[in-house]
Amino acid sequence: MIRPTVRENFERYADCIAACNACAAACLKCAAACLEEQDARKMTRCIALDMDCAGICTLAASYMLRNSEFAPLVCEDCAEVCKWCKEECERHDHWHCQECAAACQACMEMCLKMTA
């Protein structure tokens, strides 16, 4: 089997790359906003998961952009971290947590679709 070119993979995974990048941005925004909450200590787990999720989303997008043979493996892990981050953010009523949860859901779905 001939390996797809970078361009072919980018076209194939463009929606997943976009979802990963959007999720990373939402997670970073959520973490920053959590730090500004009145009792930021209560948001510690949310902040930590936001940072982890942003990191793996950025990593997954870069693996897809580089046409790495390991992109599906990283995307599987990305979907799992997005699931955990989404579940934590859903526990909070803050606007930034709700936006982050929605972005995590979309990214998780796209990553799972990409690995199928």
Domain boundaries, the chain: 6-115
pLDDT in tens, 48-61: 999 999 999 999 99
pTM over 0.85? The answer is: yes
Domain 6-115 has CATH 3.40.190.10: no
CA angle centred on 77, ends 45 and 68, rounded to 5°: 135
Per DSSP, the three-state class of 43 is helix
CB-facing half-sphere around the CA of 1: CA atoms within 13 A: 2
Q: Decide which of 17 and 6 is more confident.
A: 17
For residue 79, the one-letter residue type is A
pLDDT in tens, 66-112: 889 999 999 999 999 999 999 999 999 999 999 999 999 999 999 99
CA 101 to chain centre: 10
Q: In this model, does residue 17 exceed pLDDT 90?
A: yes
SS (H, E, C) 67-115: CCCCHHHHHHHHHHHHHHHHHHHHCCCCHHHHHHHHHHHHHHHHHHHHH
Per-residue pLDDT, averaged over 18-42, amounts to 95
In this predicted structure, what is the pLDDT of residue 1?
55
CB 23 within 8 A of CB 75: no
